[in-house]
Amino acid sequence: MYAKVIVDVPAKQTNRAFDYVVPLPLRKWVEVGSRVGVPFGPRVLQGFVVELQEESSVDPKRVKAIQHVMDVVPPLTPELVGLGRWMSGMYLCHEVTALQAMLPGALKAKYERGIQIGDHAGEQARTALPDVLDILEFVRLKGTVGMEALMERFPNEGLLVKQLIESGALSEVQIVKDRMNTKKALTIFPPEQIGVLEDAVQELSVRAVKQKEVLRFLMDHPVPIRLAELMDKLQVGAGTVKSLSDKGWFELREVEVGRDPYAGRTFLRTKPLPLTDEQDHVFQEIQSAVAAHRHEVFLLQGVTGSGKTEVYLQSIQECLDQGREAIVLVPEISLTPQMVERFKGRFGDLVAVLHSRLSNGERYDEWRKITRRQVKVVIGARSAIFAPFTRIGLIIIDEEHESSYKQEESPKYHAREIAVQRALQHQAVVVLGSATPSLESIQRTRSYRGGKPSYRLLLMQQRVAGRPMPKVHIVDMREELKGGNRSMFSRPLYKAIEERLHKKEQTVLLLNRRGYATFVMCRTCGFVSTCPHCDISLTYHQSSRMLRCHYCGYAEREVSQCPSCSSEHIRHFGTGTQRVEEELGKLFPGIRVIRMDVDTTTEKGSHEKWLTMFREKQADVLLGTQMVAKGLDFPDVTLVGVIAADTVLNLPDFRSAERTFQLLTQVAGRAGRHEKLGEVFVQTYTPEHYSVQCASRHDFGGFANHELDIRATLGYPPFQRLILITFSHEELPLLVKSAEAFVTRLKELAADQLRSENDLFSAVEQTPEPAHMEVLGPVASPISRIKDRYRFQCVVKYRGNVQASQLIGSAVSWFEERSSKEKLQISVDVDPQYLM
Ligand SMILES: Nc1ncnc2c1ncn2[C@@H]1O[C@H](COP(=O)(O)OP(=O)(O)OP(=O)(O)O)[C@@H](O)[C@H]1O
Ligand SMILES: [Zn+2]
Ligand SMILES: [Zn+2]
């Protein structure tokens, strides 16, 4: 038997599968998805088995053998291995990079695997076959057995061992000298004859109050308890407990604990709520697709507070009832304890939580619950999309428009695309939910394939219980300036905050820090410098005092007078949260402000801490960046203020209007979600802009139509797709020369393909849209130098049946063959979220 193995060296030369013999003793242990050690040149490397076959076309004398297998249960499923191949073609990354991205960090480190007796060994032992007893006995005697020792002793029992692990009779662990090891905790085991503690209490001196308290507690609760928990409960020191165990009243020893980050927290079980008509309609659609095992993608557009989460919960229940599994993605910053609580409250221990604030070890424990089939639901941020489930029925992506679903480093995948790809393999349903769906997704509900829209649109236009949407006021900051107000707070917003302080209600203030001080705007008339070729605002470069276009390279000198109204109040624009906080303090002495931004939330758990404080009304104002805009559900928030809506609007990015609309809608949605009415003030220098106007009317449809028209005219997504190619080199002249050579070659390749493609189209007379591809640039990247490397970029725009990734792949190979010694780096970003 032969295995095709992808070795763990992300390089062009190793970006293919190599053939290895599977030696006889390993045959029962190796599967597609197994990690193996293979000889490669002088070294032994880690690799992934991606295929098994009876024959190999490689000369048998030259084929080497797999040395060892690293895990009993392969960390990847055959489906994920296939996904890795797809990703490498789609996103132009090394296959091994894609596979590695699917594993929890703990598994990427150097380590060894071992087998121990599991929690359920006892049950097995009673009913088991002699073979099983042999294995269990062997492991029991050794404590921890290395993979190799086990395989040597039971070469033919691979399947059986896997079954034992699945049933919990054995458990796979990491034997590492490192921190990743499974965690142990000192635990108290009360004696079986609990009555003896009564004697102990009598024996102790009257002054040993604390010790007696511990013993009494154990008599009332005669079950094992962690030392830390007991100390916490009774407010006693470790010494007190230790002295009791030294006297032999009970046993104190270390046991392995799952690092469940939510351990010890009790989640109130919740029952499904009776659905509103709108919710029920949506739920029926989703549930019937799930029940029919029909692959379908739904776009659920529901206004803020319409009760999307309840629909998710009931759909998941439906999926579980069918014996299938569900993945829920939420943006990292919405993955708060409140969010987790809603899922754990409904599904209890069937839920695993994966997010980046967990330590490597915690993540690994959660991930193991999936491979051990202990959980049926995974809730997590982007990378949870790779959860190694084998019977997926439903994948939910909440806030599907969020740009954080796109990974910025290789593999530069979009979780939405991965979700659809995986769901296709599982005949599963995808639900993309948002109050402000991305235009890409909206367009897919309107474009038909085989008579059906690619995505199906489901709508929820009412808030639950007939609660009204908050009233949104647009405040024209140009008028404020004319009226002599130079403060960053307009008079209406000032009054509104004052009122809330008086009524003891709460306020959320949003300041967008992205794009800090980068664009130039006239404070008198709102004029913003834009590129004459691209309809995108120019970026101010402090060092050269120039304004530049990041798409086409156009540049102009900084101006000191507004070209539109000749005012001298023109300057680069931006303000920080800290300054807003100071000003609040001056305007409203004694005001209690919680500031949430990157500076105040770096510490683990700080994000949750601030939100809890705010929920408990320890502050009047929650002031922050984007992180205050999403998912928060506080009953006493009746006012939302946006300090400057324009900061996003004028970013040099074709998505800036979309992002502005999304942000304004999301943050407005935080107000008045419960009994009290909500009110929103949006301060802006461009009150007439359609993104501001539509957001103020809660008019998603109007915004989408307007924006789609513009995108169609300018040839931007979703009508054309983009690929960003970035070149970098230490020497500028070489970089420019290479980038130009690359672009020339790419254009040649594209011309060839397009010719044949469009010939084909005209031959069959059925072209929905003719294939088209253009290459813009190369121009200097917006960030023109990083770590002493200069950067240039080009943007590929294409539509129709163009194999753009493949074309770029060929151009990259062509280039690398010619210039192997030059240190030019090329990085490719398919469907980039930011063109930087
Ligand atoms: N059928 C229902 N009956 C009563 N209350 C409900 C129902 N569905 C949801 N709710 C409540 O309505 C509130 C808003 O629901 P939820 O948070 O799910 O909205 P959402 O659409 O996810 O909002 P957002 O997009 O703003 O996060 C919650 O407090 C929720 O418990
Ligand atoms: Zn002006
Ligand atoms: Zn331009």
Q: Domain with 77 in it: what CATH number? A: 3.40.1440.60
Beta bridge pairs of residue 434: 301
Closest ligand (CA of 652): 3
Question: How many Å lie between the centroid of ligand 1 and the Cα of residue 273?
Answer: 10
Is the pLDDT confidence value at 619 over 70? Answer: yes
Are the C-beta atoms of 552 and 530 separated by less than 8 Å?
Answer: no
Report the pLDDT value the prediction gives residue 180, as an integer from 0 to 100: 45
ipTM: 0.94
- The CATH number for 691's domain is 3.40.50.300
User: Do 324 and 455 fall within a single domain?
Assistant: yes
- The closest alpha carbon to 778, from 568, 551, 570, 622, belongs to 551
The reported pLDDT for the residue numbered 529 is 84
What confidence tier does 384 reach under pLDDT thresholds 50, 70, 90? very high
Check whether 49 has a pLDDT greater than 90.
Answer: yes
Would you say residue 649 has pLDDT above 80? no
DSSP 156: T
Residue whose tokens read 């032969």: 2
* 3-class secondary structure per residue, 488-534: CCCHHHHHHHHHHHHHCCEEEEECCCCCCCCCEEECCCCCECECCCC
Same domain, 446 and 529: no
Query: Any idea which ligand is nearest the CA of 534?
Result: 3
Phi and psi (nearest 5°) for 4?
-95, 125
What integer pLDDT is reported at residue 828 of this predicted model? 92
Work out the average pLDDT over 31-47.
88
Write out pLDDT tens, residues 699-752.
999 999 999 999 999 889 999 999 999 998 888 898 999 999 999 999 998 888
Q: Which residue has the higher pLDDT, 529 or 452?
A: 529
Residues 665/469, Cβ–Cβ less than 8 Å: no
Same-domain check for residues 24 and 143:
no
Total count of residues recorded for the chain? 836
Highest mean pLDDT, choosing among 220-224, 325-329, 401-405: 325-329
Enter the pTM of the model: 0.77
Q: Nearest residue CA, atom 10 of ligand 1?
A: 307
Mean pLDDT of the region 578-586: 85
How many angstroms does the Cα of residue 308 sit away from the middle of ligand 1? 6
Q: Identify whether residues 306 and 375 lie together within a single domain.
A: yes
Distance 651 CA to ligand 3 centre (A): 13
Ligand minimally distant from the alpha carbon of residue 463 = 1
* Cα distance between residue 92 and residue 115, in whole Å: 37
The atom of ligand 1 lying closest to the CA of 279 is 1
Question: Is 99 in contact with 56 (CB distance < 8 Å)?
Answer: no
> Looking at the domain assignment, is residue 372 inside a domain?
yes
Do 97 and 126 belong to one domain? no
Asked if the structure places residue 271 within a domain, the reply is no
Q: Which residue has the tokens 């993540």?
A: 363
Flag whether 267 is in a domain: no
Rounded mean pLDDT, 199-211: 84
Is 717 within 8 Å of 708 (Cβ atoms)?
A: no
Residue whose entry in the numeric block shows the structure tokens 């917003």: 493
Out of 402-411, 455-464, 629-638, 643-652, least confident range: 643-652
pLDDT value at position 769?
Answer: 67
pLDDT surpasses 80 at 760: no
- The predicted model gives 61-79 an average pLDDT of 89
Domain boundary among 178, 202, 222: 178
What separation in Å is there between the alpha carbon of 435 and the centre of ligand 1?
12
pLDDT bin (cut points 50, 70, 90) of residue 115 is confident
Residue 705 and residue 651 share a domain: yes
| Distance of alpha carbon 81 from alpha carbon 106, whole angstroms | 19
Q: Which of 633, 636, 676 to mutate to test the pocket of ligand 1 (most atoms within 8 A of CB)?
A: 633
Nearest atom (ligand 1) to Cα of 304? 26
Q: Please say which residue of 57, 72, 107 terminates a domain.
A: 107
- 543 lies in which domain range? 523-570
Q: CA separation (Å) from 301 to 105, 140, 397, 431?
A: 34, 55, 12, 10
On the question of pLDDT at 281 being above 70, the answer is: yes
The count of structural domains within the chain is 7
Residue nearest to atom 16 of ligand 1 (CA): 307
Q: How confident is the model at residue 517 (pLDDT cuts 50, 70, 90)?
A: very low
Ligand 2 mean position, distance from CA 526 (Å): 6
Q: What does the pLDDT look like over 523-551, one tens digit per residue?
A: 888 888 887 776 667 877 665 777 877 66
Out of 154-163, 614-623, 766-775, 806-815, least confident range: 766-775
Name the one residue in this structure whose structure tokens are 């209600």. Answer: 505
The DSSP output letter for 599 is T
The predicted model gives 485-504 an average pLDDT of: 93
Mean of pLDDT over the chain: 85
Q: Does residue 564 surpass a pLDDT of 80?
A: yes
Q: Are residues 365 and 407 in the same domain?
A: yes
For the ranges 584-588, 598-602, 735-739, the lowest mean pLDDT is seen at 598-602
What does the pLDDT read at residue 198? 83
Q: Do 612 and 686 share a structural domain? A: yes
Q: 161 lies in a domain?
A: yes
Q: Establish if 787 belongs to a structural domain.
A: yes
Give 767's pLDDT tier (boundaries 50, 70, 90).
very low
Residue 836 in any domain: the answer is no
Ligand 3 centroid–CA 662 distance in Å is 25
What are the tens digits of pLDDT across the range 148-182?
778 778 877 888 888 888 888 888 776 543 344 45
Average pLDDT of 76-103?
Answer: 94
Ligand 1 site, CB within 6 A: 273-276, 279, 302, 304-310, 435, 464-465, 631, 633, 669
Given a cut of 60, whether residue 776 has pLDDT beyond it is yes
pLDDT at 757: 66
Residues 285 and 428 in one domain: yes
Residue 658: closest CA among 697, 611, 710, 607: 710
For residue 686, give every residue at least 6 positions away whose Cβ sits within 8 Å of its Cβ, in sequence order, or none: 526, 528, 645, 646, 649, 692
User: DSSP 3-state assignment of 624?
Assistant: strand
818 with 745: CB under 8 angstroms? no
Nearest residue (by CA) to ligand 1, atom 29, is 633
Mean pLDDT, to the nearest integer, of 65-78? 89
Highest mean pLDDT among 382-391, 574-583, 752-761: 382-391
Ligand nearest to the CA of residue 566, numbered in listed order: 2
pLDDT digits (tens, 9 = 90+) for 244-275: 888 888 888 776 665 555 555 566 778 899 99
**Does residue 6 belong to any structural domain of this protein?**
yes
The answer on pLDDT for 230 being more than 50 is: yes
Q: Please choose, from the candidates 297, 282, 285, 284, the residue with its C-alpha nearest in 3D space to the C-alpha of residue 424.
A: 297
Helices (H), 631-731: 646-649, 656-668, 690-696, 700-714
The reply to whether 605 and 498 lie within a common domain is yes
Residue 669 near residue 303 (C-beta atoms within 8 A): yes
Per-residue confidence band for 602, with pLDDT thresholds at 50, 70 and 90: low
User: Nearest-CA neighbor of 438 among 407, 414, 418?
Assistant: 414
Q: How confident is the model at residue 460 (pLDDT cuts 50, 70, 90)?
A: very high
Tokens of residue 367, six digits: 């991930």
Q: In this predicted structure, which of 25-39, 150-164, 283-297, 730-744 has the lowest mean pLDDT? A: 150-164
Backbone angles phi, psi at 471, to 5 degrees: -80, 130
Ligand 1 atom closest to Cα of residue 275 = 1
Distance 429 CA to ligand 1 centre (A): 22
Confidence of residue 516 (pLDDT cuts 50, 70, 90): very low
Identify whether 477 is part of a domain: yes
Does residue 30 or residue 159 have the better pLDDT? Answer: 30
Read off the pLDDT of each residue in 37-48 and give the average, rounded to a whole number.
86
Q: Are residues 509 and 642 in the same domain?
A: yes
Q: Locate tokens 């103020």: which residue?
A: 696
Q: Ligand 1, residue 308: give the atom nearest the CA.
A: 21
Domain final position from 157, 178, 199: 178
Write the residue with the smallest CA distance to atom 26 of ligand 1.
Answer: 304
Instruction: Give the number of C-alpha atoms closer than 13 A to the C-alpha of residue 284, restricted to the C-beta side.
Output: 7
Same domain flag for 158 and 87: no
